[in-house]
Each structure stands twice: as C-alpha cells, then as structure tokens.
Structure 1
C-alpha cells in the first residue's frame, strides 16, 4: 500500500514537471526562435517586402554644390 502511494506521488510530480515546466519552456523557445527567424528574414530584405528604411539610396546627405561649406551664421542672444 505504501509503495502504491509513493508511485502515485512520483507520477503526480512527474506530471507536474512535464506539463508545467518542460512543455511551456519548449513552446516558448520555439516561439522565440520563430520570431528571430522572421526578424532575420526581414533584415535580409526578402523579395516582395518593404525596403530597409535604414539604407539611404539618395544622395541627400551630401552637401549641395551651390552652397558654400563653412558659412558663418550670425545670431543674437535673446535675454528675457
């Protein structure tokens, strides 16, 4: 009788371990891996997706040739 109770308690703890710890950790790990995989695909620029907003394809960062570089702008300090 005591042996049956010990087996029952062991089975209960094993059940709790599997369904409350192991399976949720497995599901969470799989979901995180899927998220990282999707993020990596977006960063690699798969065809049919939006272009990467961090890549600047225009020359807007270069100064205009009409402007003179190094002009000094005079300003006055306003006191309240």
Structure 2
C-alpha cells in the first residue's frame, strides 16, 4: 500500500513539474529574451538617430562660429 502511495505521489509530482513548472520557466525565459531584443532594437534606433543628428549639430556649430548677420539701419544726417 505504501509503494502505491509513493508511486502516485511521484507521478503527480512529475506531472506537476512537466505540466506547470517547466512551461512557466520556458515562457518567462522567452518573454525575457523578447524584451531584451526589443530593448536592443530601441537602443540601436536611438544610436542611429543620434548619429544622424550629430553631423547637423556640428554643421550648425561651424556656421555660428563664422558669425551672425546683423541688420542695421543707415542714419540720415541732418
């Protein structure tokens, strides 16, 4: 009688582990991997946007170093 109880208990334990614990572990691992992939894609997009914006910024800095155009009015002498 004792062996039957242990056998049933072991069977239920194996069913629980293979039917619940392992799938939950695999799913959480897959979700974590997908989250990291999306995070890496976002980082790459941010890097590309910064690289596209950097040449424009350096170009505007060079033009501002040359000088500004200042309008002036001529004064009429009396």
Provide the alpha-carbon RMSD of the alignment. Answer: 3.1
Q: Structure 1 CA distance, aligned partners of 2:70 and 2:31?
A: 55
Structure with more relative contact order (C-alpha pairs < 8 Å, separation 6 or more): 1
Stretches of structure 2 that go unaligned for 5 or more consecutive residues are 61-68, 72-78
Runs of 4+ in 1 over 4 A off after TM superposition: none
Match of 1:7 in 2: 10
Judged with a 3 Å threshold, the aligned counterparts in structure 2 of structure 1 residues 44 and 3 are, in CA distance, closer, same or farther, namely: same
Based on CA coordinates, which of the two structures has the bigger radius of gyration? 2
1:17 aligns with 2:58: no
TM-score by length of 2: 0.57
> Of Structure 1 and Structure 2, which has the larger fraction of its residues in helix?
2
Q: TM-score, normalised by structure 1?
A: 0.56
1:35 and 2:70 correspond: no
1:8 is displaced (CA, Å) by 0.5
Distance, in Å, in 1 between the alignment partners of 2:35 and 2:70 is: 49
5+ unaligned residues in a row in structure 1: which ranges?
67-80
